[in-house]
Amino acid sequence: MKAEPEILVSEIFYSIQGESTYAGWPCAFIRLAGCGHGCRHCDTAYAEEGGVPMSVSEAVERAISFGAPCIEVTGGEPLLQAGAYPLLEDLCEECPDVLLETGGFLPVDQVDPRVRIILDIKPPSSGVSGENCLSNLELALESPRRFEFKFVLASREDYLWAKEFIFRQQIAGSCTILFGAVFGELDLEQLAAWILEDRLPVRMQLQLHKHIWQPDTRGV
């Protein structure tokens, strides 16, 4: 008998979706452990190590028990774990809206096509902008409705870099693009003004959970 896949889980919880076009919806989250990329503005550094071993079926059962309209697999960097792929497949059998939030460092071509992919693009202030996996952009242009590209910006430099990036990579006007601010580092009114001035085809987003709860609260 084939062994059931296992994953290392940092936490499973039920909260309000804070980002993406699903922001504001109740959502069940499965946060997988492990990353190691060292983004400067990471707000889930606690998930980079450790984790509790759990079977995929147990994680699926716990997530669907909340009865949420959507379920997100996040991290850390969830795609570092081979078990993330069967986890996503099994979740798709139980829930019509399954989301994957990934740091954008790894290819997503093996992710179940039913999954909505929220893919971070790291700007210069992250310290890892050279590690963005550009092959994911080609895949997104083939299936644009599956993808949301998320830019979390800390400065004017980040904003200008992101603006140039979305046009150079031809995702502007084709895919959903989200511009947000690193909490406490970039004024939201200023970011809104830049977007309006440049008439960018992007959706501005807040990190909604950080406005509802204290910014360092876990499990939300």
Per run of 10 residues, the mean pLDDT along the chain (length 220 residues) is: 83 96 97 88 83 96 98 96 97 97 95 97 94 94 94 97 97 95 94 98 93 85
**CA 189-154-178 angle, 5° bins:** 70
Q: How many CB atoms neighbour CB 77 within 10 A?
A: 24
- What's residue 119's pLDDT? 96
- Specify which residues 71 forms β-bridges with: 28, 98
Instruction: State the CB neighbour count (10 A cutoff) for residue 2.
Output: 4
The CATH label, of 3.60.15.10, 3.90.1150.10, 3.40.50.720, 3.20.20.70, for the domain at 6-212 is 3.20.20.70
Q: Which of 48, 32, 49, 125 is nearest to 87 (CA)?
A: 32
Q: What does the domain layout of the chain look like in residue ranges?
A: 6-212
Amino acid at 18: G
Q: Retrieve residue 8's tokens.
A: 């290392």
Contact 22, 150 (CB under 8 A): no
State the pLDDT at residue 2.
65
Please give the structure tokens belonging to residue 110: 């093996």
**Overall size of the chain counted in residues:** 220
- Residue 153's nearest CA partner among 120, 176, 125, 194 is 125
Which pair of tokens denotes residue 72?
């997100």
Contacts of 22 (CB under 8 A, 6+ apart): 70, 72, 97, 99, 116
199 by Cβ neighbours in 10 Å (0-12 / 13-18 / 19+) ranks as exposed
Q: Please say whether the beta carbons of 198 and 179 come within 8 A.
A: no
Q: What is the pLDDT of residue 101?
A: 97
Report the SS3 class of residue 90. helix
Question: CA-to-CA distance for 7 and 1, rounded, in angstroms?
Answer: 19
Rounded to an integer, what distance in angstroms lies between the CA atom of residue 14 and that of residue 25?
11
